[in-house]
Amino acid sequence: MSNPTLVNVEDISVKYGQHLALSHIHFDINQGDFIALIGVNGSGKSTLAKSLLGLKRIASGRITWVNGQNVGYLPQHTGLDNRHFPATVFEVVATGLLKEKGRTPWFTKDDRKRVKKMLKLFGMQDMSNTRIGNLSGGQQQRVLLARSMVMNPDLLILDEPTSALDQNAREKFLKVLKKLNAEQNLTIMLITHDVASIEDYANRVLYLDKHLLFDGSFKKFCETQPFSPFIHTHKPRYVKEGENK
């Protein structure tokens, strides 16, 4: 039996002024999917994510959340773009409670406990009062992940979360995601440039270039899209030498 559907994306198009950013996109997201959303710069990856999140209005088509929209999000740009932003790890993770709490002026004891529990889960309990700008890139991404996880999301969308990380931190971060996907059945949509790095993690690839060019498994993607600019420039391990010529 297939996993239940979280969201139906039906024939959506998105425009920036007169410029068409996405054209007639159609797919479903099922619970437990680990989707790699790939495409070259300007192919509409972030726009699709923003449309799913309700941050960008769609020009036509329909997005239907089967059990209501409950999405966590790691955006490409945050206050962390300013290294001196004065926020502690605790303060950042606690903002994940806002959706549930509404316009609350302060958090209760139970809320604080929840945040601390989440920090413990990510091995960051000792960093609660540390300023987020003083952490490494990998640790910062884990804090942002904890912020989303405290919401108990059905779907987690991550916009190029590993682009600024070194190889070691990138692998560590992806392993944390894989663990959440496998153990908590968390549905993940990961926007990335780096196809090779998600080969071992994602079970589904959405390949975008304004249109949805491919939707299927990683293996099938490599077989059916050998001449895409993606495979050519990012050559994953799966594509054997000589096969892509």
Partner 1 sequence: MSTIELLLRAFEYGFMWRALIVGIAVAISSATIGSFLVLKKYAMIGHGLSHVAFAAVAIAIVLNQAPLFFSLPIVTLASIVVLRINQNARIHGDAAIGLMAATAMALGTTLVSTSGGFNIDLYSYLFGSILTIRSIDVVFATVFSVVVIGFVLLNFNTLFSLTFDESFAKISGVNANRMNTWLAVFTGITVVIGIRAIGTLLISALIIFPAIIALQFNRGFKGTLILAVIVSIFTVIGGLLLSFILDYPSGSSIVLLNSAIFFIIYLMRTALKLQT
Q: Which parts of this chain interact with partner 1 (CB under 8 A)?
A: 50, 53-55, 71, 73, 75, 77-79, 82, 84-88, 90-92, 94-96, 98-99, 101-107, 129, 131, 134, 147, 151
Instruction: Give the C-alpha separation, 86 to 79, whole Å.
Output: 9
Q: Residue 199 CB, nearest distance to partner 1 (Å)?
A: 28
How many other C-beta atoms lie within 10 A of the C-beta of residue 44? 22
Calculate ∠ Cα 33-39-45, nearest 5°: 70
Cβ closer to partner 1: 50 or 207? Answer: 50
Cα end-to-end distance, the chain, whole Å: 39
Considering beta carbons, is residue 43 or 46 the nearer one to partner 1?
46
Rounded to a whole number of angstroms, the minimum distance from the CB of residue 91 to partner 1 is 5
CA distance 32 to 9: 17
Nearer to partner 1 among residue 77 and residue 237 (C-beta):
77
Tokens of 92: 């950042």
- Name the residue nearer to partner 1 (CB basis): 42 or 86: 86
Question: What's the min distance (Å) between Cβ of 77 and partner 1?
Answer: 8
- Min. distance of Cβ 221 from partner 1 in angstroms? 29
Q: How many CB atoms lie within 10 A of CB 165?
A: 19
